[in-house]
Amino acid sequence: MDITQLLDIAFQTRHQAHAPYSGFAVGAALLTKSGKIFSGCNVENVSLGLTICAERSAVAAAVANGEKDFVAIAVVAESAEPAVPCGACRQVLAEFNPELKVIASTSSGKIQELVLSDLLPRTRQGILEAFRDV
């Protein structure tokens, strides 16, 4: 999978976002081990806590279609710097693959490539191991 294709899908999906309150439209494209891509966009709600991020939207679409083995996610937003997944999205993504490749990009093409475990160092496995030591 070419990351350009993943970024293109995230960029296109970004245009479907429902972001009337923040004006911050985000698109995500999630690549599975089987080669399928699931996209998602943010869906805001006047009750901010009910807002769904693009990354979690893509995860929900993948899981609803029987896919749980994730390889990479591309996230595209209209921002000066690439927008990486928020804390809640990091936690949800780590549930499936703590070593997930994260490709964050601005809509103008500034790209940053990361590994999820660098963004969320104490992944689920690390937390479980910490509890065993108590």
The pLDDT tens digits for 54-93 are 999 999 999 999 999 999 999 999 999 999 999 999 999 9
Instruction: Using the Cα atoms of residue 26, residue 30, residue 36 and residue 42 in order, give the sign of their dihedral.
Output: negative
The upper half-sphere exposure of residue 17, i.e. CA atoms within 13 Å in the direction of its Cβ, equals 27
Q: What's the total number of domains in the chain?
A: 1
Q: How many angstroms separate the Cα of 7 from the Cα of each of 1, 49, 88, 98?
A: 11, 27, 22, 21
CATH number of the domain encompassing residue 106: 3.40.140.10
| Residue range(s) defining the domain that contains residue 112 | 3-132
> By C-alpha distance, which of 23, 25, 28, 24 is closest to 10?
28
Predicted model pTM: 0.89
Cβ(41)–Cβ(17) below 8 Å: yes
The pLDDT tens digits for 12-37 are 999 999 999 999 999 999 999 999 99
Active site residues: 55
Intra-chain end-to-end CA distance of the chain, in Å: 42
